Copies of this chain bind each other. A is one copy, B any other.
Amino acid sequence: MSLDKSKEVDTRTRILDASGELFRRRGYSGTGLKAILAASDAAYGSLYYFFPGGKEELAAATLRAGGVVYRELVEAFFPEGGDVVNATQVFFEGAATMVEMTDYADACPIATVALEVASTSEAMRQAAAEAFESWLEVLERRFREAGISSVRAREVAVEFFCAIEGAFLLSRTLRSTAPIVIAGRASSAVVAAALAEPS
């Protein structure tokens, strides 16, 4: 950490930013190290200095970084004590806007790589699992705080996750935001119904 708050990002961060964008768009195997180095304006030497484990270690770190960014995004949309039904609706609307603005390129930072490596790399699978779990924990906590029972809060969080991830897949494949809009309406209705249940 330097003392002055200079805005220049260090090489490690530039590599992680570039790999985050490329892995999410083209997948793990579809992204070459050369492309990452070109996009981050770095050299092979730097990559293997920061990530001695090579491509796999870089990808695991990229999954963790993407997991943190997205968890903070969920926390921003679901502030403590806020209206979880409205937050759900607004979250899906924001997701639809992001997907459309990036021409259906940027959706979930984890999903593509997670499906690729789930059966081939245990280290990467676990990094993806921890990212997903951290999102579910935030949602579950907010739903519980809003008055939903502990068991139902976890279930509603899982349903929320499945809805947005499935909608991302369908949206990017069909090149339409309609699935995200439909999944958003359905999810906010699910949250509202869970709130109305006897606790």
Contact = CB atoms under 8 A, between A and B. Distances in A.
A170 B163 contact: no
Interface of A: 25-30, 103-105, 111-112, 114-116, 118-120, 125, 128-129, 132-133, 155, 158-159, 161-167, 169-170, 172-175, 178-179, 182-183, 185-186, 190
A129 B159 CA distance: 23
Nearest to A133: B174
14 contacts: A26-B119, A28-B30, A104-B118, A115-B169, A115-B172, A132-B174, A158-B179, A158-B183, A159-B163, A159-B186, A162-B167, A162-B169, A165-B166, A165-B170
Q: Which of A116, A128, A133 has the most CB of B within 10 A?
A: A116
| Secondary structure type dominating chain A contacts | helix
Nearest to A119: B105
